[in-house]
Chains A and B, each alone.
Chain A
């Protein structure tokens, strides 16, 4: 019976350990517990029994505590990323809240005045706000948890992998960093938010990009229902996975930049890579089928005039082409600018000694 207790205990500890080290630690704990039981048995002059085993196991500690001593500190979001996490979370939640408030205002303004409907609209908006905030919170936590795992996780031996060890910090950096090398925090955070919003909207709420009519007969951008006319075609949504990848990588790069506080060649090269991918996607979109789902027929139904619809459709198509060309041109200009920065960025006039030398 006492052996069963020991085995059960050892298995419980092992269950809480990674597979790689489980068998080794289980064998060691079993050996230690046998030694402890032998010692107690010799001292007391009694054979090992259940009561003695229970005392030894109690003294050794709970499986959670024992397993914890072999694992060290584990974080979902560790101390190095936590300040950035809080900063991003505050901004994202604030923007989500403001967006929801604006949405509520628009929804109320588009309904005929009716206290019951207004109350219903407000209650629905509050519900949507709570859901949105939870959704945003979950996604931000997920992104940072992935970053923590990828950048700062410790292996089973307790050695921390991830970014290279920081060099010794030199206060002279504060005055010597030229403006182009400084990371503009507000701009970078806004880019994170915009990328995150784009990922969420295009992947989970594509129905926003549709036209419909409100009760008062006013057009609105809708959330997609049977009466709404989709604005963007399937040809556009084909590129969403690639755009999502670019936006996600942009978020990761921006977070790394926020932590570093300054640009370097590697970061600029990464950004050039992302810009090039963006230019290629825009080029494929331009060369491919139309990105618009509206047709002359659907426009006529909405506007009520076939003549206006016929003249409006080419304008909309040209507008889409213009946006894509603009995206490509701006992308090329960014690539040129970043390349120029890489070529012209000088070495700092002093060396920052490696802390570990």
Chain B
């Protein structure tokens, strides 16, 4: 009888440990996905905010990274093209030290849009502060 109770206790312990470990893994994965979604929401504002001065793609990635905003090349460069086709950015090729580089900067429309996006962001921050 005593052995039987011990076996049940062991099973309960194993199940609990399994749920804690597996539950933590699931939570970490969900957390990573949620973080990605959160970042995706602000990426356009972050990129536009750095293009008041002309920059090429790689310097833009490093500039964002220095300020704590990590962004993948696979995300940034297609985004820059998309923002350009939407009329928010201008780009031009320049040859520097025998190396062609594509420089991006805010267009006139982008310069009008950026302060509006900043205001919208500030409103969202206030709302979230109240909610959280």
Interface residues of A (CB under 8 A from B): 25, 27-29, 31-32, 34-36, 39, 60-61, 65-66, 69-70, 157-159
Contact call A31/B102, Cβ cutoff below 8 A:
yes
Contact call A61/B101, Cβ cutoff below 8 A:
no
Give Cα distance in the complex from A158 to B84, angstroms: 12
Interface flag for B85 (CB, 8 Å): yes
Which of A27, A35, A157 is the most central at the interface, judged by chain B CB atoms within 10 Å of its CB?
A35
Please give, as numbers and ranges, the residues of chain B lying within 8 Å of A34 by CB-CB distance. 99
Give Cα distance in the complex from A31 to B82, angstroms: 19
Chain B contact residue count (CB 8 A cutoff): 16
Contact call B93/A27, Cβ cutoff below 8 A:
yes
Interface residues of B (CB under 8 A from A): 56-58, 73-75, 77-78, 81-82, 85, 93, 99-102
Contact call A36/B74, Cβ cutoff below 8 A:
no
Give Cα distance in the complex from A60 to B82, angstroms: 20
Contact call B74/A32, Cβ cutoff below 8 A:
no
CB distance from A46 to the nearest CB of B (A): 19
Task: Report the 4 A-B pairs with minimum CB-CB distance, sorted nearest first.
Answer: A35-B58, A157-B85, A69-B78, A69-B74
Contact call B74/A66, Cβ cutoff below 8 A:
yes
Given contacts A27-B100, A35-B101, A158-B85, list 8 more A-B pairs with CB under 8 A. A29-B77, A31-B100, A34-B99, A35-B56, A69-B74, A69-B77, A70-B77, A159-B85
27 residue pairs from A and B, CB less than 8 Å apart: A25-B81, A27-B93, A27-B100, A27-B102, A28-B102, A29-B77, A31-B57, A31-B99, A31-B100, A31-B102, A32-B57, A32-B73, A32-B77, A34-B99, A35-B101, A36-B58, A60-B73, A61-B73, A61-B74, A69-B77, A69-B78, A70-B77, A157-B82, A157-B85, A158-B82, A158-B85, A159-B85
Chain A residue at minimum C-beta to C-beta distance from B75: A69
Give Cα distance in the complex from A60 to B76, angstroms: 12
Please give, as numbers and ranges, the residues of chain B lying within 8 Å of A69 by CB-CB distance. 74-75, 77-78
Contact call B78/A70, Cβ cutoff below 8 A:
yes
